[in-house]
Structure formats: C-alpha cells, structure tokens
Amino acid sequence: MRTSSPGDIVGAFWRTRGSPMRGLTDMLRAIAFRAGLALSALAAMHPAAMPAQAETVRAAAVTVDDGSGRSHTLASLMHGRPTILHVWATWCVPCRDELPAIDRFAAGLAAGVRDRLIAVSVDTRPHADIAAFLAELDAANLHPWQVMGGNAGTAFRLFGYPATLLVAADGTVAERFTGLVDWDDPAVAMRFEAFVKEE
C-alpha cells in the first residue's frame, strides 16, 4: 500500500482549492477591493480640493432653466465674475445632507455677492419637483436652477455628486471639491466668501 508523501498532501490541497498563484491572486484582489472601498469612504467624509490644471468651465454651453419657462446660459449668470458653482441632485443622499448648510452660507453673504453662488440640479424630473425639494429643506436662499439637456457631467467634467467648483472670473476652475463640504466650518466659509468677493 502506497503511503502519501507530504508533496501528495499539498498537491491534493491545491487541487481542491486551486493553484497557489490563483489563491494568492484572489487574496490580493480582495485586499485591493476593500482598500478601494475604504479610500472612497474616506474621500466622501473628507473631500479634498483637487488642482484644476487650468481647466475651463464651458459655461456658454450649459443652459439652465429658472423655473419660469425661461432658459439662461451659465455664462450669462456668472457675468464674468468669480462664482461658486454647486452641482447636486434630488436623488443624491449626500446632496440632501449638504444643501441646508449651503443655504446657511448663502444667507450670510452680502446681497451684492449672493448671486455668485449658483446651485444647479442635474435632475431630469419636472422643475416643480426641484423647487419643492428645496422648499422641503427650507433652503430659501438657493434658487432652483436646473441644468437642461443633461450635459452637466460633460461640461463640468464631473464623476459624482455633490460637486463644488470655484470658478474664476475668466472661467477657469480654481478648485473643485467632490463630495460633502463642511460649509459650516468658519475656515471654509471665510475661504469661499473671500473667493466670491474677488474682482
């Protein structure tokens, strides 16, 4: 009767579990996947400003609806001035959490610069739904602008919502933030307010 050698036992183990290399590959994939999830969660909790690399917002190509049946280009709303552009959606849970804080920030801005904060919805729902959504949040200082044509992601080079862009007077993006921003943080509020007051 043949006695199994240690090599036979190891071989039988890997025949049932797969090759050593395959097992190692599967383990590394699992580690990478979990690391990716952790980094994504961290980015959502602590969004960092990303360098804009001299990119320009295609403001003239973006049309927004004001809710009264009239459309405007984003460029016409910016008037060649520094602008904070916030992009959101009603179906975006983090957006719902962030909008009340943005409304509080807007309330603290002087009347002459308050219109330099433009919050636009990318929803395809009727405009009335967007207005009702903001009303439900008691966001009275945010106009319910809605992007028309579904071209916001391309025009702004966005990969997720919410997103906040600091757009300089010449249309270049000074900074962009993907994910929640702590608008109630005094340092953040001071930084953003100083930006929109630039001439």
| Count: domains in the chain | 2
Residues 6+ positions from 177 with CB-CB distance below 8 Å: 47, 48, 49, 50, 163, 164, 165
Residue 173 lies in a domain: yes
On whether both 56 and 20 belong to a single domain, the answer is no
Expressed as residue numbers, the domain containing 96 is 50-196
Residues 6+ positions from 110 with CB-CB distance below 8 Å: none
- Residue range 105-164, pLDDT digits in tens: 999 998 889 999 999 999 989 999 999 999 999 999 999 999 876 666 677 778 889 999
Q: Is the pLDDT of residue 41 over 50?
A: no
Q: Any idea what DSSP says for residue 87?
A: E
pLDDT of residue 150: 62
pLDDT of residue 2: 52
On whether both 180 and 149 belong to a single domain, the answer is yes
On whether both 67 and 19 belong to a single domain, the answer is no
On whether both 27 and 92 belong to a single domain, the answer is no
What HEC string does 123-161 produce?
CCCCHHHHHHHHHHCCCCCCCCEEEECCCHHHHHCCCCC
What are the CA-CA distances from residue 97 to residues 19, 37, 90, 181, 198 (Å)? 48, 21, 11, 10, 28
Residue 118 lies in a domain: yes
Residue 183 lies in a domain: yes
Please give the mean pLDDT across all residues of the chain: 77
Q: How far apart are CA 191 and CA 89, in angstroms?
A: 25
Residue 58 token pair: 């295609």
On whether both 97 and 179 belong to a single domain, the answer is yes
Closest among 158, 149, 174, 144 to 83, alpha carbons compared? 174
On whether both 105 and 160 belong to a single domain, the answer is yes
Q: Is the pLDDT of residue 13 over 70?
A: no
Say what the pTM is. 0.72
Q: Any idea what DSSP says for residue 59?
A: G
Residue 1 lies in a domain: no
